[in-house]
Structure 1
Amino acid sequence: MRLGVLDVGSNTVHLLVVDAHPGARPLPAHSHKAELRLAQLLDEDGAIDPEGVDKLISVVREAVQAAEDKGVEEMLPFATSAVREASNADDVLARVQAETGVELQVLSGAEEARLTFLAARRWFGWSAGKLLVLDIGGGSLEIAYGIDEAPDAAVSLPLGAGRLTAGWLPGDPPDPESIRALRRHVRAQIARTVGEFTRFGAPDHVVATSKTFRQLARIAGAARSTEGLYVQRELKRESLEAWVPQLTGMTTHQRSELPGVSEGRAGQLLAGALVAEGAMDLFGVETVEICPWALREGVILRRLDRMRPV
Structure 2
Amino acid sequence: MENSNFAAIDIGSNGARLLIKNVIEDAGGNYEFNKVLFLRIPLRLGKDVFTIGEISPERERMMMCMIKSYKQLMKLYRVVEYRACATSAMRDAANGQKILKKIRKETGINIEIIPGSEEARLLCDNSVESGYARKGNYAYMDVGGGSTEISMISDGRIVGSCSYNLGTLRILGGAVEEGEVEKMKEELAAYAADYKDISIIGSGGNINKLCRLYDSGKGKKSKDTLPVDGLRKVYDEMKGMTYRERIDRYSLKPDRADVIIPAAELFLTVADALGCQQIHVPNISLADCIIDGLYKKLKDSPIKA
TM norm structure 2: 0.86
User: 2 CA distance for matches of 1:237 and 1:89?
Assistant: 37
Deviation by residue 1:90-146 (Cα, 9 ceiling, x = unmatched): 212111111111111111111111111112112235644433211111111110012
Q: Please, what is the CA RMSD of the aligned residues?
A: 2.6
Instruction: Tell me by how many angstroms 1:257 deviates.
Output: 2.9
Report the equivalent of 1:18: 21
How far apart, CA to CA, are the structure 2 residues paired with 1:293 and 1:210? Answer: 8
Is 1:68 the equivalent of 2:71? Answer: no
Task: Determine helix, strand or coil for the equivalent of 2:215.
Answer: coil
Q: 1:197 aligns to what? A: 191
Indicate the residue corresponding to 1:172 in structure 2: none
1:210-221 counterparts in 2 under 5 A? 210-221=204-215
Q: Is the 8 A contact 1:39 1:139 kept in 2?
A: yes
The equivalent residue for 2:64 is 57
1:18-75 CA distance string (max 9 Å, x none): 0125742321111122111000123865111222212111111111111111121112
Q: Which amino acid aligns with 2:73?
A: A
Alpha carbons of structure 1 residues 43 and 190: separation in structure 2 relative to 1, 3 Å: closer
3-state DSSP of counterpart to 1:84: helix
Does residue 236 of the first structure (1) align with residue 227 of the second (2)?
yes
CA distance in 2, matches of 1:264, 1:78: 21
Aligned mates of 1:121, 1:223 — CA distance in 2: 30
Secondary structure (helix, strand or coil) at the match of 2:158 reads coil
Aligned residue in 1 for 2:92: 85
Find the residue that maps to 2:31 and give its secondary structure.
Answer: coil
> What's the % identity of the aligned pairs?
21
Distance 1:204 1:275, change over 3 A: closer
Q: Distance in 2 between matches of 1:97 and 1:223?
A: 46
Aligned to 1:138: 145
Secondary structure, counterpart of 1:32 in structure 2: strand
- Counterpart residue number, 1:279: 270
Partner of 1:40: 47
AA matched with 1:6: I
Residue equivalent to 2:130 = 123
Matched, 1:107 2:110: no
Q: Deviations over 1:5-28 (max 9, x none)?
A: 011111111100001257423211
Q: 1:189 offset after TM fit, Å?
A: 4.0
Runs of 4 or more consecutive aligned structure 1 residues displaced over 6 Å after TM superposition: none
CA contact (8 A) 1:119 1:294 kept: no
Deviation of 1:270 (Å): 1.2
1:171 corresponds to which residue?
none
Cα 1:223–1:98 shift into 2, 3 Å: farther
How has the CA–CA distance of structure 1 residues 130 and 249 changed in structure 2, closer, same or farther, with 3 Å as cutoff?
Answer: closer
Post-superposition Cα deviations, 1:278-299, rounded to whole Å, max 9, x if no partner, equal 1111111111110111311221
Unaligned runs of 5+ in 1: 169-181
1: distance between equivalents of 2:50 and 2:139? 36
Report the residue type matching 1:249 in the other structure: G
Classify 1:204/1:295 alpha carbon distance in 2 versus 1 (closer, same or farther; 3 Å). Answer: same
